[in-house]
Structure 1
């Protein structure tokens, strides 16, 4: 149990708040309300399994790099709190749970289930050869609402892909911000990231552009699905949080990056989900 706790700490299980609310958003839009209880349960299991496995694989792939970086040297694998073998075991179990949940949902989910796995594995190595690693991470989380839609409907719609693209832009934007703290390390080790090439100021500008694109895509989702004023209010609140996030950060002062990265972005995903739910149940859906 201690090793399991260590693994959950290693993968930052609380960061599931970035993906799970958007998966629930896709689920509500697909069902125009709530699907069956078991569908909700298996979507939760799939997201938790996929996200845990993806983060575990990333920590394993980056263990040697993390050991060199003063900011990450204290992480659980480099510090010896959990061995590579133990981390690998829990990662394999997590992916197995994800695949089982996909099998329990519907045939299309099972058929498509290897695609997210390939994206997760690819992301863990992208910083070694491309600065587009932030986009790949965005894709990895952007498939959450799409996957939930497939879980409910057994098909894919253009509208849910737009929402997924919005999530992708949002995640890529805040990941670019997060990478600013490792700009010197990336340059020294030859790792690829947007901040390495654009510098902190240019990276913050690009992150703003990505978040503006996310806001517009979230907004277009309203019109595609015929959502009402409650969803619109939620998107405006999310946009305001994004603006506040960027006002906290300046090229010469990233001291509030931790708050901007986790707290505010968790509020954004939760806000979109909550206001989508309110709109679907009380305004536009059933």
Structure 2
């Protein structure tokens, strides 16, 4: 395989486009911590750290879930399943991303460096939790919820109320859409003895739990903006975000899950950038 084909396969394996779910929150945390422009170098190093830890987590997930991905028709075309990328090469890639993440954290500040190994452990743990508990969605939410906290401490190495509230907002937001995403695999998860909210409770209950998560996400995002003393533009954007979250649950139902991918990727990708945009507008024009 030529280098360009290998890079393309890696990007498909780790779903590089899903970085839109975490990076905007990390940037929002950095801008809020700085009270404005945090500087080009911190943003670049933060970007490297976020992409590295996410790539590490996704590659590790593909490795430990390989036996399930081979059996699931939805995942049968993944590069590791088809053999486009070897298991040995993926392990090497995973290790490299872990080292790159630690190096990037070291380039930010001492607190980031100290927290790097626990962050890697937490990021890897999600891949195993589906074997044991339906709370795995909330753990994944917690992993991505670390993004705004990471952005904050990259600029201001301390834990603050706005950063913690953003953590909870992202946790519930991610848990809600991950539950929606896992609805596609409900029957497969049941057949494999895997745990997820849809497989454990059924589709109607899963949609209710997802909606409950997104209601909580809206509340915590509102409180985060208030605690960070953001101006009126943040609240205007927040109202739109809340509306998008509500609409997300209007376009799917137990009888029609055909638009679940639209609810999962398109709408939630928009929400991530709206949070960043709202935070910037709230800082500069409030």
TM-score by length of 1: 0.97
Asked whether the equivalents of residues 59 and 94 of structure 2 are also in contact (C-alpha less than 8 Å), the reply is yes
Q: Which moved more, 1:167-176 or 1:271-280?
A: 271-280
Give distance in 2, aligned partners of 1:41 and 1:157.
23
Q: Structure 2: how far apart are the matches of 1:83 and 1:254?
A: 34
Unpaired stretches in structure 1, ≥5 consecutive residues: none
How big is each residue's C-alpha offset from its partner over 1:239-258, in whole Å with a ceiling of 9 and x where there is no partner?
Answer: 11111111111101111111
Alignment match of 1:243 (pick from 223, 243, 246): 246
Structure 1 runs, 4 residues or longer, greater than 4 Å off? none
Question: Match of 1:68, SS?
Answer: coil
Write the deviation string for residues 65-110 of structure 1: whole angstroms up to 9, x where unpaired.
1101111111111111111111111121112211111000000000
Determine the structure 2 residue equivalent to 1:170: 173
- d(CA) in 2 for partners of 1:264, 1:100: 33
The aligned counterpart of 1:197 is 200
Counterpart-to-counterpart distance in 1, 2:108 and 2:178: 31
Displacement of 1:226 in angstroms is 1.0
Q: 2:82 aligns with which of 79, 82, 85?
A: 79
Residue 104 of structure 1 corresponds to: 107
CA distance in 2, matches of 1:14, 1:96: 22
Matches within 5 A, 1:1-286: 1=3, 2-283=5-286
Q: What is the DSSP-based 3-state SS (H/G/I as helix, E as strand, rest coil) of the residue aligned with 1:57?
A: helix
Q: Secondary structure at the match of 2:79?
A: coil
Q: Are 1:7 and 1:90, in contact at CA under 8 Å, matched by a contact in 2?
A: no
Q: Are the equivalent residues in 1 in contact too, given 2:231–2:285 (CA < 8 A)?
A: no
* Separation in structure 1 between the aligned mates of residue 122 and residue 276 of structure 2, nearest angstrom: 24
Equivalents in 2 of 1:257, 1:81: separation in Å? 28
- 8 Å Cα contact 1:187/1:196 also seen in 2: yes
RMSD: 0.9
In 2: Cα distance, 1:130 partner to 1:82 partner = 30
CA distance in 2, matches of 1:161, 1:44: 20
Shift of 1:233: 1.1
Displacement, 1:198? 1.3
Alpha-carbon distance between aligned partners in 2 of 1:80 and 1:65, rounded to the nearest angstrom: 15
Distance 2:197 2:100 in 1: 34
**Can you give the 5+ residue segments of structure 2 that lack an aligned partner in the other structure?**
none
